[in-house]
A = this chain, B = another copy of it.
Amino acid sequence: MLPDVSDPRKPNPARRSERSRRAVLGAARELVSEVGYAKVSIEAIAARAGVGKQTIYRWWPSKGAVIFDSFLELSEGEGEEGIRLPDTGDLGADLKAVMRATVAEFADPAFEAPIRALNLEIIADPALADAYREKLAGPVDEAKKERLRSAQRAGQLAADADLDLVLEVLYAPLYQRWLHRAGPLTPQYADALVATVLRAFAP
């Protein structure tokens, strides 16, 4: 009789590897949130994850790469369910719901600290910026555009609106305000951004 290689009682190197990988990514996210990107070290991630430093260096070339992957993992979880914006038929109401939730996330210290760390990496590193756009921002933007196209078909948004520009006008002011800590992040602000976009790109 042939041995059953998938026998769960037997040690399985692939499964052990995957467990270590997830532990490293989880530790990276936790540490960035707790102490900030600058103070996180590969040593600290290894200790928190319960793996050797060499294990991390075997899989990732740098601290920035580990942290980027740790965010990518979060987003891949979303990807499995499919990213989709609410579509109740009322573009204004749907965008307000999404923007209020986004503003609340950026106003939350536990959420914003790792996102700030990731942004610093992306801004400093063109290759990481490309990877970010391809793997993280791109699919999310595509989902948002799907909602905008539905609004165009419903006559709630100009049929010839440049959807990249619509998304920039909707999100970039929030992003810049958050990045520079330049003003309050409130539900009223979310609503004002939605109102601006609806007016600027009305049919």
**Which B residues touch A132, using CB under 8 A?**
180
User: Do B116 and A123 have beta carbons less than 8 Å apart?
Assistant: yes
> How far is B179's CA from A119's CA once the two chains are assembled, in angstroms?
9
Residue of B123, B181, B197 near A126 (CB, 8 A) is: B181
User: Do B173 and A38 have beta carbons less than 8 Å apart?
Assistant: no
In the complex, how many residues of chain A place their beta carbon closer than 8 angstroms to a beta carbon of chain B? Answer: 38
How would you classify the secondary structure of chain A's contact residues: helix, strand, loop or mixed? helix
> How far is B147's CA from A195's CA once the two chains are assembled, in angstroms?
23
Q: A172-B172, A173-B165, A192-B162 are in contact. Are A123 and B129 (CB under 8 A)?
A: no
A85 within 8 Å of B (CB atoms): no
Give the B-binding residues of A (Cβ under 8 A): 37-38, 116, 119-120, 122-124, 126, 129-130, 132-133, 137, 162, 164-165, 168-169, 171-173, 175-177, 179-183, 192-193, 196-197, 199-202
User: Do A123 and B168 have beta carbons less than 8 Å apart?
Assistant: no
Name the 4 nearest CB pairs between A and B, nearest first.
A168-B173, A200-B200, A172-B172, A172-B176
Question: In the assembled complex, how far is the CB of residue A189 from the closest CB belonging to chain B, in whole angstroms?
Answer: 8
